[in-house]
Structure 1
Amino acid sequence: MSQLVFIAAGGALGAVMRFGVSNAVHAVTGRDFPYGTLTVNILGSLLMGALYVLLVERLIETVEWRAFLLVGVLGAFTTFSTFSMETVALIEGGEPLRALLNMLLSVTVCVLATWLGVLAVRQL
Structure 2
Amino acid sequence: MHTKKEPMNCDFDALAADGHRWRASGAAVVAVVAAGGVLGAESRYAASRLWPQGPGVFPLTTFAVNVTGCAVIGVVLVLLSDMRAPSRLLRPFLATGVLGGFTTFSTFALDSRQLIDDGHPGTALLNVCGTLAAALAAVTLAAVGTRRLLAPRRAPR
TM, length-normalised to structure 1: 0.91
Q: Unaligned 5+ residue runs, structure 1?
A: none
Q: How many corresponding residue pairs?
A: 120
Q: Name the structure with the higher helix share.
A: 1
Q: Post-superposition shift, 1:112? A: 0.2
Residue 64 (1) aligns with residue 57 (2)? no
Aligned residues with identical type, % of pairs: 38
Q: Unaligned 5+ residue runs, structure 2?
A: 1-26, 150-157
Identify which of 47, 58, 63 aligns with 1:38: 63
Distance in 2 between the 1:58 and 1:74 partners?
19
Q: Post-superposition shift, 1:13? A: 0.3
- Which residues of 2 match residues 44-83 of structure 1 at below 5 A? 44-55=69-80, 57-59=81-83, 60-83=85-108
RMSD, aligned CA: 1.2
TM, length-normalised to structure 2: 0.73
Which deviations, in whole Å up to 9, do the C-alpha atoms of 1:8-58 show, x marking residues without a partner? 1100000111112233233xxx42321110000010000011101111x20
Partner of 1:96: 121
Q: What amino acid does structure 2 have at the position aligned with 1:118?
A: A
**Which is higher, the Rg of structure 1 or of structure 2?**
2
Distance in 1 between the 2:79 and 2:137 partners?
18
Partner of 1:4: 30
Which deviations, in whole Å up to 9, do the C-alpha atoms of 1:93-124 show, x marking residues without a partner? 11110000101110000100000110121012
Distance in 1 between the 2:141 and 2:49 partners?
25
